Amino acid sequence: MAGKVEIRRKALRENLIKIADQRIGEDGLANLRARDLAKDAGCALGAIYNIFDDLTDLILAVNALTFKRLGAAVAADLADAPEQPIEQLVVMGQAYYHFAAENHNHWRALFDLPRSEGETAPEWYLEEMGRLFSYIHGPLSVLRPNLGEKDLHLFTRALFSSVHGIVLLGIDQASAGVPEKDLDRMIALLIRQISK
């Protein structure tokens, strides 16, 4: 019966991720507590540390889920988009914004997780980021066929970063915020202008 332990561990692992995912969604990353997790999961406090190195490790697992959902949301909206490259970029930008708005706490957790000095993001993080980039890269390469590969990559990154910045400052700051209609419009304006 080599496995009873592994099965239980695996179940607890999934359970902990599910519960942390819920709590982050409801209360935000800053309100996640190891003791709450243990209570909700019906396990000992120390059990968390049998499975994860530390809370950061657990949060990374939640962030992986969030990243997958984000990718899926963007892909779903993209599927219904017109086939003009520029419209696809607009749809993607707005899909990114809508996901961030509707999953604020989850989305923030992607970027709020403090990575200690000089530590690089985990590999899957870069991969998921790359997937998002590749969505942009396609339409952009059609719009800008004269750009070299390196410049195209820079441009792709710049476009993503720009939309990210608009969403971040638009949603996040209590700086009087920007109404949803306006944010959608800002994103569309930016992308149309940048892709022209």
Partner DNA sequence: TCCTCCAACTGAACGTAGTTCAATTTAACG
Partner DNA sequence: CGTTAAATTGAACTACGTTCAGTTGGAGGA
Interface ranges with a copy of itself (CB under 8 A):
28, 30, 114-115, 117-121, 125-126, 129, 154-155, 157-158, 160-166, 168-170, 173-176, 178, 182, 185-186, 189-190, 193-194, 196
How many residues comprise the chain? 196
* Greatest extent of the chain over all pairs of C-alpha atoms, in Å: 64
Kindly tell me which residue out of 18, 55, 141, 186 binds DNA, with binding defined by CB under 7 A: 55
CB of 111 to a copy of itself, least distance (A): 8
Q: In whole angstroms, what is the distance from residue 77 CA to residue 173 CA?
A: 26
Q: In whole angstroms, what is the distance from residue 112 CA to residue 115 CA?
A: 9
Contact 108, 145 (CB under 8 A): no
Q: Does 142 bind DNA (CB under 7 A)?
A: no
SS3 93: helix
Q: Which stretch binds DNA (CB under 7 A): 2-10, 62-70, 77-85, 153-161?
A: 2-10
Kindly tell me which residue out of 46, 114, 145, 148 binds DNA, with binding defined by CB under 7 A: 46
